[in-house]
Amino acid sequence: SIQTLHAELDGILWTMDVLCTWCHDDDVGWEQAINYPYKNYLPLSGCLTWSQDELKPRIIVSQNDTVSLTIGETDADFSYLSGYGERQVSELHTLTPALPFSDDSASVFSLQITLFPNQGFSIGFTVHHAALDAITVIMFMKAWAHICKQHMENKVISLPESLTPSLDRSFVKDLTGLDEQMIEIVRSLRVGKKNMRSLSRNPPGKIGDDLVLATLVLSQDDVERLRERVRSNGDDQSLRHLSTFVIAYAYTWTCLVKARGGNGERAVSFFLSADFRTRLDTPLPATYFGNCIVKVGCCKRKAAEFVGEKGFVTAVELINDLVKSLSSPRMIETIAQRFAALFDSIRESSQFGMVAGSNRFGVYEMDFGWGRPVKVDVISIRGEGISMADRRDESGGVEIGICMNKTEMETIFSFFNNGLQNS
């Protein structure tokens, strides 16, 4: 639908809301902690602008620019909001900051620290994905945590190379005009926008009280049993070595399609995003500051293919093929066509899925000196969009965030848990 298409287009100029919670009720000393990391990450304090005489937006950092920081206090139930069960999304959003934007400019990053007296605290942050991707923002959070921990332990303040961003744009050599092609695709889809260079996005819809966020968990043993199920039902030798990401995405996707029900002939699509830092002809540094994650993989099928006895194996095969296609020598040449094809699939599909985050980001490695987070959630996901993270308390496991209304969530939990019991 057009409404769905507009929602996905907002995903290109996307803001992502992430909430991290810690059990700690001592004086953290925020006046010291919040100042250290920004000299290495100055673009976070800047603004995106897009003037009429420029092909694409750019980040402008002025001398007095700062990152917006909100500090608050709440009497909400910390254990409830930092848990794995169903939590009201409207309440979670009170713990993340707004990201100011207009037609002419948009902030890149904002922070909110909320104290739960005698319980713990949360750090919520909102990022503009036109400026940076999840890899960059998680790198910043780890750098911030690293510096704070050094300060608390009275050590010399320094950043390791792995947490020091590369800001040199000369590394990116676009010899194919890809940037112009991608911008034209986005502009062609901005129906009703008089200013095609506007950095504003459609007003967010009201968050109803029945909208909840929950986290599904796959243990390492669960993943291995699901992997073995594929091996015993598939003949393709490439399915002998499947990543945890492919297994988790495929299993969750089949549960989502089953939970939706409806006509088996209806079209459904799922997408795959990839980090292109290492996939360019001249690879970028792993610490390159920016957004190098692009939606480039799409698969459209009939719902019936995912709800049958071999639906999970089918999903694994399709996602695995998308992953393998990223290694194609012509991948860079076809990015624009693949990107445009995503929107054709959205128009034609009754259901589409995508993943925010990754089980390889190590989000639970953030230690500011008072231990790892109790919970990390991406609270901006909606519908069949899911988030993925490494499991907090077990290597090899996966945490999968899902956001939908309570009735749908109960159905998802039923398919998810019953499927594991039968594996």
What residues act catalytically?
A: 129, 367
CB 400 within 8 A of CB 238: no
CA-CA distances (angstroms) from residue 171 to 33, 166, 217, 287? Answer: 32, 9, 39, 12
Show Cβ contacts of residue 389 under 8 Å, excluding neighbours closer than 6 positions. 357, 358, 359, 361, 363, 364, 376, 398, 399, 401
Q: Note the helical H segments in 295-399.
A: 304-307, 311-325, 331-348
Burial class (CB in 10 A: 0-12, 13-18, 19+), 261: exposed
Give the integer Cα–Cα distance in Å for 364 and 211.
26
Structure tokens at 359: 């089980």
The three-point CA angle 212-217-223 to 5° equals 145
The whole-angstrom separation of Cα 10 and Cα 3 is 11
Burial per residue of 322-346, b for 16 or more beta-carbon CB atoms within 10 angstroms, e otherwise: bbebeeeeebbeebbebbbbbbebb
CA dihedral 325, 178, 291, 92 (to 10 degrees): -80
Point out which residues pair with 17 in neighbouring strands: 126
Long-range contacts of 206-209 (CB under 8 A, 24+ apart): 207/89, 207/90, 207/93, 208/90, 208/405, 209/88, 209/90
